[in-house]
Chain A
Amino acid sequence: MKPPPFRYARPDSLDEVLRILDEHDGGARVLAGGQSLIPLLNFRLARPEVLVDIALVDEFSRLAVEDGVLRIGASVTQHAAETSDEVARHCPLLSKALPLVGHLQNRARGTVVGSIAHADPSAELPAVALVLGATMVVRSVAAERTIPADQFFLGPFTTALEPDEMLLEVRFPAGTAARTAITEIAPRSGDFAIAGAAGRLTATDDGTVANVALALFGVGAVPQRLPEVERLLEGENVTPEALDEAARITTATAEAGSEDVHADPAYRARVAGELTRRIVEEMAA
């Protein structure tokens, strides 16, 4: 249970990070908080030639709200975001999600951006990014590009990032007009979710749903939006019948996911329906 040999670099500029990623042609990996990468090394599931520690690049520690956008840089820890007033004020769903990400000892080092780059199917933050319509800012030596969240997650632990690219920052639309909620079931607090649901909802004064976005995590291979449930709810009042129907459709349309010691796909789908009911009820209340 020790990492295989690798070479370690700790540049203090973005250009140097990108140069090392470029030179090693897939053999170099970014080391952010290490809370997922180091277990992979300890289990020898990953054998990178080079790890590029990004801790010394000043600009990556930026967390700021500008023009209605919350920008979180690549080295901002989950703990820093969790305790940030700016995040609490401008992006309440992210604030609610962060305490669910691992244990406090993991959040002290794990990063917001690293969680999204890692794309664990049961991770909370990718689902939050999807629900809020976040944008990924990606850079290689050659170019910078942006990728919307709904095109970023391609499969378990697989994203649209190329091996020579890094995720510079994630941009979350800021704002408190919508109501938001996230919930999950996990064996213990801090464990990976067996299934979870996150959402954002705006309603008119008489309680009619104007706009809703819902996503599951821990169920399928990637965080999954629920367009049929969203269509069912939009323009309607959230009645007990509508909640039953939302739960039913969620279970019926949930992607068949993994089977492990905790649950099989059918159980995950059933729980996903119930969790979706709970967050919609909470947001409509």
Chain B
Amino acid sequence: MKPVPDPTGRLAVSMVVNGRTVERTVDSRRLLADLLRDDLRLTGTHLGCEHGVCGACTVLVDGRPVRSCLMLAVQADGREVTTVEGITPEDGLSPMQQAFKDHHGLQCGFCTPGFLMTLAGTEPDEHADEESVRDLLAGNLCRCTGYEGIVDAVMAGWGRSR
């Protein structure tokens, strides 16, 4: 990441998205979520609230789950970004994605990429019991499932019984 000593309305940025280097010149006000969705056509990252509450836009930045609606594209300059496309195998589903499917962890699916990215950036060992899993999931809203199926899916995806 290069210093930008003088304030600018547009900036050339370079970042690694799902393993590929991406270079773009963006408006300073461009949100990372909009860069991903509109410029890179990675529309798996969803936008619900656009103020940090719902979690639908969660992506990994340098391995950690963050809200892409609360991060500017210029702030992702020089960083590594992973979206739901990046954790999905070429053919089929990852074990956690399959667990969501098997356990009714989704209905409309709008919230699902956010849940998956939160989980992708989490060490299962740090969430040993169901209480702690529920706490982990509190940063992602789902209006369809009532969460029971999602908790079931996480437990199954992490090889636990509930």
Contact = CB atoms under 8 A, between A and B. Distances in A.
B92 interface: no
B4 A1 contact: no
B65 A8 contact: no
Interface stretch (A34-42, A141-149, A226-234): A34-42
Contact of B4 (A9, A38, A104): A9
A223 B20 CA distance: 47
Interface string B35-58: 000000000000000111001001
Given A6-B28, A38-B70, A16 B139 contact: no
Interface in B63-84: 64-67, 69-72, 74-75
Interface residues of B, number: 35
A34 B8 CA distance: 18
Contact of B7 (A20, A34, A56, A104): A20
Contacts of B5: 9, 11-12, 16
A39 B74 CA distance: 16
B133 interface: no
A278 B153 CA distance: 36
B72 to A, nearest CB: 7
Contact of A105 (B7, B50, B55): B55
Contacts of B1: 10, 55-56
B35 to A, nearest CB: 12
B70 A109 contact: yes
B31 interface: yes
B65 A7 contact: no
Nearest to B3: A12
Nearest to B34: A2
Nearest to A11: B5
Contacts of A200: none
The 3 closest A-B pairs by CB, nearest first: A103-B139, A7-B7, A8-B28
Interface of A: 1-12, 16, 20, 28, 31, 34-35, 38-39, 41-43, 49-53, 55-56, 79, 102-106, 108-109, 188-190
Given A6-B29, A108-B66, 10 more contacts: A6-B28, A12-B3, A31-B75, A35-B67, A43-B51, A105-B118, A106-B70, A189-B135, A189-B138, A190-B138
